[in-house]
Structure 1
Amino acid sequence: MMAEPLIALRGITKRFGEGPAAFQALKGIDLDVAAGEFVAIMGASGSGKSTTMNILGCLDVPTSGAYRFRGVHVEGLDRDQRSLLRRRYLGFVFQGFNLLARTTAIENVELPLLYRGEDRKVRRAQGMSALDKVGLAAWADHSPSELSGGQQQRVAIARALVTEPDVLLADEPTGNLDSERSVEIMELLAELNAQAGLTVLLVTHEPDMAAYAHKVVHFKDGLVERVDAREGSVPPQRHPHTQ
């Protein structure tokens, strides 16, 4: 028997509004993501990819269909239960770094643990460990204004990693970066996926960024148009990380 996927979507629909003004954003999405996969989601604006990511991240609920995470039917959970799943199992990285300007890198990374009520020593130890994973331990006491765009996004990734999530949801994480910093961030995500076994779901408009994924899911008009498997592929641009 095949193991059940970490994430399984079946017939997921999402409608916004009612009556003649209603908009059907998703029209029946089926998608499987295995533990340890790196999946890129691509599609034009309005194709449904961001709506799907919001549902996967428990930030929204489907109108109909089934969403199973580790075999649990997420669509049947209440708001508090979805919030708990989000905090315990999911990490988020966005196009905007969303860092607090007047706090240090380590303080930004510690925030999710602060919300959990973790002890200060625990927060500091886990925060430094997360910064070390992204190569920024030496920059822990620097404010965002003292960091480059690529470094700020690494801090944002460390903040997503500090709770040790099963899945990292990355929505256009290179959208505000130049090409060199974009490659740096994608190599970091690929490394976390390959070495730590982190499941990565990436939304991107850029084929060069999607090339890091094991498979690319193409959305069109609220449906999955096709899935391109890229098992064993290696992106063409590879270079050592730079801080």
Structure 2
Amino acid sequence: MKPIFIKSIAVCCPDADLLAQLQISGSAIDKALIPAGMRRRTSMTTRMAITAATQACQQAAVDTATLPSVFASLGGEIQVTDALCRLLPDDDALLSPTQFHNSVHNTTAGYWSILNKCQAATTAIAAADDTFAMGLLEMCSQMQLQEGDGLLVCYDELWPQYLAAPIGKVAFACAFVLSSDAEHALASVTLPQVANDLTVMSPECIELVQSAPATAVLPLLRTLQSKTSANNIPLNINSPIWMTSIESKRD
């Protein structure tokens, strides 16, 4: 297997108190990253994901116009989809063209490509509780086939709480730039695989992931921020448990 390296990582979360509680570095949504005309048509999930993705790309100094990407989200544009579904039983209701335009799962990936004039391949993934694990697996698998850099973004917005509580009580986005090149890397990362031994997240993380699926990145994120190496880092909370290992390049 070819080695895969993590060049940068960025977090966007509108809840500053949560970031402080988790003791991780992150930022609020940067609305200035999207032109006003386009911004009016975007949702929290798109703005949040684009903030994290932009910051990760800036840290890694990569060319976003040529960067392949994977966007992983359990719910995607769940607020928009919910609003449209609630209108359908009303024969007199008029569907918003903008909302209909934004109701597909790859909405955020599309806005990212437009903003960055990017014609590289992009993939939108949803895999229930395994969404982050499958996003990382997809990006790492692509990099086994071609060299270069790639962007992975994992995100979920606030959900209407009558749908599947407690999912969506917290909005969170995280972005990584991965690379086949070790230069300036934070760490190397292994291809995700099912753990032979039961490896689980801490009770604190499990509770958070149940309400914010994208926070499944936390064990990996914390290991990276501590600049240490670790084996069997869990990537999801329900069996089968997917895991990865990282070797820090900054020990």
> Same-fold call, TM > 0.5?
no
TM-score, L = length of structure 1: 0.30
Q: Is the strand fraction higher in 1 or 2?
A: 1
